[in-house]
Amino acid sequence: PILVPGDLFKGDPLMAVPISAQHTVAGILRVGGKPGKPFAREELRLLDILGSLASLALDNSVLFNQVQDSALRDGLTGLLTHRAFQESLESAILESSRYNQPLSLILTDVDHFKSINDNYGHQAGDEILQGFAHILARNVREVDVVARYGGEEFVLILLQTNHRDAMEIAEHLRLDLEAQRFEVGGKVINMTGSFGVATFPDDSTSSQQLIRQADQRLYAAKQAGRNQVRGKVA
């Protein structure tokens, strides 16, 4: 601990110990004493112990948050994980229901992704997924949710977005992806994606049914030749 005599600043004696986290000083634990009464050695030792315990607790808190974040973020793309998406969707549906607002879901995946892995290797496939994730993330608002649904599939939660607007957003994403040129291993690869759109509450008020609707429409887009957007049939 740092000991400051009371007469140094014409005030009460003071002792302080730094509190650190991840090898960085995050704060200071200070204890004031009585005028004219120096701190005992036991008090200095106690403050030192308290400072160490506080630093340990702060370190553990930082590590816990890092572990939580790694569980919620996909290691390859940096997007939310499937679990985080499920939790976000449940919360979003509750909020949309409370305020009588629409919510749209876009389920998408990279067309012919298996052939990319087969022909160029998994490293190339990873780079394609990262590029696709970047395109999705840069085209939505901060309030929206973008997650890796699994494998080459991604999902978006568009808050306060009706079906027509969601279809337009999906088409914009499709065109953006189609226009990209991915350079992998010295070769340029053109990529496309297929999209399925479902909307709360028009299609369903259940999160699982909403996902199922979007998945069925994604499948329809792929069956129709891929590189398409499919939504509710008017």
**Which tokens sit at 208?**
């699982």
Residue 66 confidence (pLDDT): 57
pLDDT reported for residue 55: 75
Q: What is the pLDDT of residues 95-134, one digit of tens each?
A: 899 889 999 999 999 999 999 889 888 998 999 999 999 9
Structure tokens at 127: 């780079």
> What does the DSSP 8-state code read for residue 197?
E
For β-strands 153-159 and 103-110, DSSP reports them as: antiparallel
Residues 44-90 pLDDT 10s: 788 888 877 787 777 666 665 555 566 788 989 999 999 889 989 99
Q: Which residues contact 28 (CB under 8 A, 6 or more apart)?
A: 16, 17, 18, 19
Domain range list for the chain: 2-72, 82-230
Q: How far is Cα 154 from Cα 113, in angstroms, rounded to an integer?
A: 13
Mean pLDDT of 11-34: 77
Question: Strand 193-200 and strand 229-230: pairing?
Answer: parallel
Whole-number pLDDT of residue 62: 64
Residues 36-56: pLDDT tens digits? 677 777 887 888 888 777 877
- What gap in Å lies between CA 36 and CA 59, rounded to an integer? 36
Q: Name the catalytic one among 42, 90, 127, 152.
A: 152
Assess whether 152 carries a catalytic annotation.
Answer: yes
Angstrom distance (rounded) from CA 167 to CA 165: 5
Tokens 């004696």 label which residue? 13
Q: Over the stretch 175-199, which tens digit does the pLDDT of each residue have?
A: 999 999 888 777 888 899 999 999 9
Contact 211, 149 (CB under 8 A): no
CA distance 95 to 219: 29
For the chain, how big is the Rg over CA atoms in Å?
A: 27
- CATH homologous superfamily of 82-230: Reverse transcriptase/Diguanylate cyclase domain (3.30.70.270)
For residue 181, give both structure tokens. 């040129």
